Amino acid sequence: MEWKNSFKKVVRLINPKIPIGGLEITDAFLRFLVFRGGVSQAVFSKIPPGVLEDGKVLDVKAFLAALIDLRSKVNFGSEPQNVVVSLSASFIYTQVFSLPNLPEYKMDEAVNLNLKMISPIPIEAAYFDSQYLGVGASREKEFLGAFAERALVDPILSTLKEAGFSPVAVEFSALSISRVLKDLGSSYDFSEPFLVINFLEHGVDFMIMGGGGLYFRYFSNFQGALSKREIDFASFEFLMKREAARVLNFYTSRKANAIGSAIIVGPQLAGETRAILESFFGLQVYDFEISKFRELPAQWMASLGAVLRGELGRSEDVFISLAPVGTEVEFKRERLLHFVVFWRNILLAVFGFLFFIFLIADSSLARLQAVADKESQINVLDEQIQEFDELRLRAIDFNRKVSLALNAKEKSIKWSPILDDIKKAAGASISLKRVYINFDQGNGLIVGKATGELSAINFKNLIANNTRFTLVSLPFANIVPESDGKVSFQLTFGLK
């Protein structure tokens, strides 16, 4: 583990990490959190009433003004601030679906097809994505799918960019909060499913976590019952019992084990909700606790979950993102630009230092040369002649060896073009393990690993079509599937 940590430190030194913040957008607030140099910065900005409604942008100018106000509270510099956006919006739909245990190269296509089939909105008008949940009771792989209307997400993204933010990923608050519980909720045992309840300005998020990740999310708009100054407890109790029963019954219909525990995020209505869950449903209710960032109020948990995602390497980010593919491409472009600027400055400093060292060295060598010239003048003539003869003999011997080497090179077989053709045919889908060529017998062997059977056959066809090769053979028995979904193969050939 120590060498891995050391390697990561070297990678961070070579390619410094770009800070990615977490930005939660609700109807009433913008909450931004970022980690810079081990220090967290948290700022928020209020959104006037009527600007956003259930996450939908109604007043673009006012929304832009709120984002600019937020940006002014933290010194981001002139560069765009990369953010993972967490939306507390009711227009995001989620659904769990299962697939049989297909080969890896077929799984992506199957997942994409299932998302298109179960989408609650026309798929061409939606942003959609999924993440792997685990293996269900029927040994099928389970996935959580999410969908959002493009027409509602696009105004948010365009306004963010205009205000100087660069969205890396777009998720929803339930996914952000589940990440906080999984990564920082060390006191919870997620081997059993949990019911998690989070109160928002315009409703309540009911979440089910299983195996440490978000399994199911259901949003219920309680705005009518919760917006009054004096809450009608009877109505609130009725709504909570009805909606919680829906969620629990849904899970029970899909899983054999029942939910026995619950967590309430945030202090608002926690006492009333705890009483309902304990007395009516018999659940054991735990207090919301995390191992780090305890100074953050519960309202900041979605922002914290988003920034935890931003701390991940982009290759490790396999979570749902309801955003155009272009956001990922743009982030990679900005990261490349950041890398180039960083190393440009380092190289300028290094070359400047080397130039200074060369100036000093040149001056020292000039003085040494002058001293050497004076010393050489006092050498005896016969010593110079003897040294000259020795050098002449060495030169004759050296020239003889060079001639032998050149003669051997002309007689050798030029096999590098053959290897170049093999490497060119392999491309990115073939990993060459061994290439053996017997020039005396005019044949050879290639041992490699391909991403799939079709890639191995395509490689064989490319070799067969090359005019340097003949009698190219790849029997099906020489193609062996590996445990990681790839195949190993052995190919034989002759040389023309």
Read off the pLDDT of residues 369-392 as tens digits, 9 standing for 90 and up: 776 666 655 554 556 667 777 887
pLDDT value of position 30 = 94
Report, as an integer, the average pLDDT of 137-159.
91
Q: Is residue 319 predicted with pLDDT exceeding 50? A: yes
Q: Which two tokens stand for residue 375?
A: 């010393």
What are the pLDDT digits (tens) for 155-167? Answer: 999 999 999 998 9
- ∠ CA(327), CA(332), CA(337), 5° rounding? 125
What are the pLDDT digits (tens) for 395-448? Answer: 788 888 877 767 656 655 556 788 888 999 888 889 999 998 888 888 999 999
Banded pLDDT at 337 (limits 50, 70, 90):
very low
Domain 416-495, architecture per CATH: 2-Layer Sandwich (3.30)
Q: Left if phi > 0, otherwise alpha if psi is -120 to 50, otherwise beta: which for 422?
A: alpha
Fold topology of 18-187+289-323: Nucleotidyltransferase; domain 5 (3.30.420)
Which comes out higher in pLDDT, residue 336 or 452? 452
Q: Is residue 100 predicted with pLDDT exceeding 70? A: yes
pLDDT value of position 118 = 93
What are the domain boundaries of the chain?
18-187+289-323, 190-210+224-288, 353-411, 416-495
